[in-house]
Each structure stands twice: as C-alpha cells, then as structure tokens.
Amino acid sequence: MLEKIGLSVLIFIITFWTIIFMVLPFKYKPDDNIIKGNNPSSPQNPNLKLKLLITFFLSLILTPIIIKISDHALKSLANIKWDL
C-alpha cells in the first residue's frame, strides 16, 4: 500500500512538471517597457497563478489515468510466456 502511494506521488510530480513546462509559454507576450537590468524576453504578465492551477488540475486528472494504463501494461507483460 505504501509503495502504491509513493508511486502515485512520483507520477503526479513528473506529470505536474511535464505539464507546467508545456503551459508556461501560453499567452506569452514580452514586456515593452524594458528597464535597465531586466531581461528583454521576460513576460509582461506571466499569469503564474492561473498556469499553476491549470497544471495542478490537469495533473490530478491525468495521474490516475497514467497509473491505470501502466498497471494494465505491467499485468499484460506478466502474462507473456517467456521461453528463453
């Protein structure tokens, strides 16, 4: 039971970071008012709270799906007769 929880948390973390890197570039607009010392490619309004919420809920939805698919795939591999 404990390893199942640990695996679920690990899959959630990997899913979360994968999705956050996919969501970060959405609605990107570079800042027009460049102040000395700021990076010219920094976004004008990054909307990080919205992007984190979207990422969190997508990860919550996708994590059980990924776990179900991986469990099914592992059970299918266990049923193969390996004649070596």
Residues 27-52 pLDDT 10s: 888 878 888 887 888 888 888 999 99
Q: What is the pTM of this model?
A: 0.78
Q: Which residues contact 44 (CB under 8 A, 6 or more apart)?
A: 29, 30, 31, 32
The predicted structure's pLDDT at residue 48: 92
**Using 50, 70 and 90 to split pLDDT, how confident is the model at 70?**
confident
What is the tens place of the pLDDT at every residue in 55-68? Answer: 999 999 999 999 99
User: Cβ distance 41 to 29 under 8 Å?
Assistant: no
